[in-house]
Amino acid sequence: MARPLRSNFPRGSYLWAVRNAQWQALGIPEEDCEKPKIAIVNSSSELASCFSHLDGVAAVLKAAIRAAGAVPFEIRTSAPSDFITGAGGRGAYMLATRDLITNDIEVAVEGAQLDGMVCLASCDKTVPGQLMAAARLNVPTLVVACGYQPSGEYRGRHVDIEDVFIQSMHAVTGSVPVDDVIGMSREAIRGPGVCSGMGTANSMHIVCEALGMALPGSTPIAANSERMMAFVREAGARIVQMIWDDLKPRDILTPGAFANAVRAMLAVGGSVNSIKHLQAVATEGECAVDVYRLFEECASQTPVLSAVRPVGDGTIEDFEAAGGAAAVLKQLESRLDTGVMTVTGRTLAENLAGQTVADDDVIRPLDRPVADSPAIIVLRGNLAPDTGIVKAGIIERKSRRFTGPAICFDTSDAALQALRDGAIRPGHVIVMRGAGVRGGPAMGGGASRVVFGIDGAGLGDQVAMLTDGHLSGLVCKGLVVAEVSPEAATGGPLALVRDDDTITIDLDTRDLHLHVEDHELAARRAAWQAAPPMFDRGWLKLYRANVGDTGSGVTLVRPD
C-alpha cells in the first residue's frame, strides 16, 4: 500500500478545495491531486548562458515525472552568474544569492507542502543553494547536473571563459592588448552550460554525485547532450520512487558522505569554494561534521588523480569521457565510506560495482597519481586562527615557504592601481582585506581580479597574497591564501597587519604567521575601529547582519 503523502488533504476540506480550484485553472485533472507532487527547481535566466537551456531541460523532466505517475510543478529561484551578477554591489551579490536560493526553495516547497523535488543544478551558487535547501527541508530530493558549455577557438588556439577572465586582467596591467581580450570574448562560449574547467560549478556537480545526491555517472556532463537528457529522464522516474520509499536527504547526507565528497574534491583538485559550500550543506542538514577539518585530515591520504584546467592542462571533455566522478570514486574506493546510502536506494559500494575507468591516464589510480601533494591546503596560525585556504595546484614549487614584508590594501581597485604604479615589488606579501562575508559583504571585492592582475604583471612567482575574500573556482595561480578567518571586518588579525610587517606562509607546516609581538598586536587591537559598513540597505544589509562565520559555511544565522 502506498504511504500517505503530505501534499494530500481530506477531500472537500478547505485546503483541498482551494488547491483543487487553483489547479483546475491550470489544467490539472482532479484525480491528479492524489498523486505525488514534485517541485522542479529551475534557476532559468536569460542573463547568462549558464541558465539559458534550463527551460528545455525542465520540459523533458516534466514529461518523465508525469509518465512515472506524479505531478510536476516548476518553481523558480534567483540565478546568479559571477560574470553577470558580479557587476553590482562590488561583487557582493554573488555569494549572497546562494542563501537567497535556499530560502526561495523553502518558501515554494515547504509552503506548498510538496512531496519532493528535482533540482536543476547549473552555475556554481545554484548547486550549494539547492543542496542546502534539500538538507534543510529533508524531503526526497534528486540533483540533476545540467552540464558544461562548449568552448571555442581564437587565432587557432583553444579559448574558454577562464582565458577571457585571466587575459582581461592581464590587459589591466598592459601585458595583453585589449583587442585580443575582445576577440577571445567573442569566441569563448559556443553554447549553454557552466564554465568548462574544474571551476566551482563542475566541482559542485561532482560533489553532488560524491555525496550520493545525483545519479551515478551523471557528472560532469556536456550541456544538452543526449547523455545528459537520458539522466534527466531517469531522474524523473527515480524521484517518484524516492517519494514512495521516503528516501530523504538526511538519510544520504551523513558524515561518511561528506568525507567521500572531500576526498573527491582533493582527488580532482577542485574549487576551494567547495569547502564552505559543503560546510553550509552540513550545517543546514544538522550533520555534525567539520568540513574544514576533513580537508586537513584527508589531504595527506588523498593524492591528486586528475588534472583538469585550471589545476592542470586536461579538459573537462576528456575527464567526462574517462568516466567522470564515478571513475574518480572507483579509483578512491578503498579510501571511501562505501556503505553510505545514495539517491539510487543503493549504497555507494553497490553503485560502484562494475564501474570502470575508461582512461586511467586521465583519471589515475592511487598508486600512480598526478601529484602526491594536496592541491588544496588548509592553513591556520596567528593570522588565521580559524582557517585560511590555499589552492596549491599540482606544480611543485621551488619553495613551499614564503616570508616577506606586508603591503596592505582595503580594496581590489587600490591593489590593482599599486600594480600599475609599480608599488608592489618582488618579495611583497599583498594583504587585501575587507572582502569577507561581512566586510565585502558576501566575499565580494574582487580578490580574483587582483590574483590575475599579479599574474599579468609578471609577479606570480615573486609575491604572495592574503585575503579574507574568496577566489573564483577558476583561480589556481601564485601563492594565495584566501578566506582568511576571522575576517578583518570583525576585527580578525588580518585587520591588524601594517605595511612592512613580516609574514610567513608555510605550506608544509600549514602555518600562516604574523611576526609581530603579542603586546604590539594588543595595542593595535585596542586602537582598531571597524570600517563603516557598505550597502546599508536592501538584501546586502540583511545578509551582512545575519551571515555566520566559516564554521557554519557562512550560512545565514537562524533563530534558535
CA distances from 164 to 85, 148, 160, 452 (A): 17, 17, 7, 11
- Burial (CB < 10 A; 0-12, 13-18, 19+), residue 157, is exposed
The C-alpha atoms of residue 505 and residue 298 are separated, in whole angstroms, by: 21
Residue 402: strand pairing partners: 505
Task: Judge contact between 473 and 203, C-beta under 8 A.
Answer: yes
**Under the phi-then-psi rule, with left for phi > 0, alpha for psi from -120 to 50, and beta for the rest, what region is 401?**
beta
Q: Could you tell me whether strands 464-467 and 479-485 are parallel, antiparallel, or unpaired per DSSP bridges?
A: parallel
Quick one: CA torsion of 6, 281, 127, 165, rounded to 10 degrees? 160
> Can you spell out the DSSP letters for 315-334?
-HHHHHHTTHHHHHHHHTGG
The C-alpha atoms of residue 504 and residue 382 are separated, in whole angstroms, by: 11
- Burial (CB < 10 A; 0-12, 13-18, 19+), residue 521, is middle
* Cβ neighbours around 356 below 10 Å, total: 9
**Residues designated catalytic:** 472
**Residues ≥6 apart with Cβ < 8 Å to 303:** 267, 366, 369, 370, 371, 372, 373, 374
Q: Which three cell numbers stand for residue 429?
A: 606579501
Q: Find cell 604604479 and name the residue.
A: 421
Q: Which three cell numbers stand for residue 401?
A: 615557504
Q: Could you tell me whether strands 384-391 and 479-485 are parallel, antiparallel, or unpaired per DSSP bridges?
A: antiparallel
Residue 122: what are its φ and ψ, rounded to 5°?
-130, -115
Task: Judge contact between 366 and 463, C-beta under 8 A.
Answer: no
Residue 354: strand pairing partners: none
